[in-house]
Amino acid sequence: MATLTYAYSDSTAVVGPLATASEPHSYDLCEAHALRLTVPKGWEVVRHEGAFAAPDPSADELTALAEAVREAGRPGKPTPPAPEPEGPSGRRGHLRVLPGRA
């Protein structure tokens, strides 16, 4: 994983190790996209030398993930009803099922 940060005032894109904090004008990329990134004509790209390593998960991230899994697996949690399909006269009828041909 890598972080791409744009410096618009310098017409520069910086691809470096995965950032630990969110910054404006920065995006996380997988290694394949970090290595193949191209920039607009007239821009410069600065790349980190070496491999992009995945960060170790923090205890906060693991705790949040465990809580989400625990909450999703609780018995007796009501399942929301599926939306009723709208007919040809419905307002959101831009998609429809067509019968198959044999």
Q: Which two tokens stand for residue 84?
A: 């009723």
Residues 63-99 pLDDT 10s: 777 777 777 777 766 666 666 655 555 555 556 666 7
Helix, strand, coil % over all residues of the chain, rounded to 5: 25, 20, 60
Q: Residue 66 and residue 39: Cα distance in Å, rounded?
A: 39
Residues 13-58 pLDDT 10s: 999 888 877 788 788 888 888 888 899 999 999 987 766 666 666 6
Torsional sign, CA 17, 22, 27, 29: positive
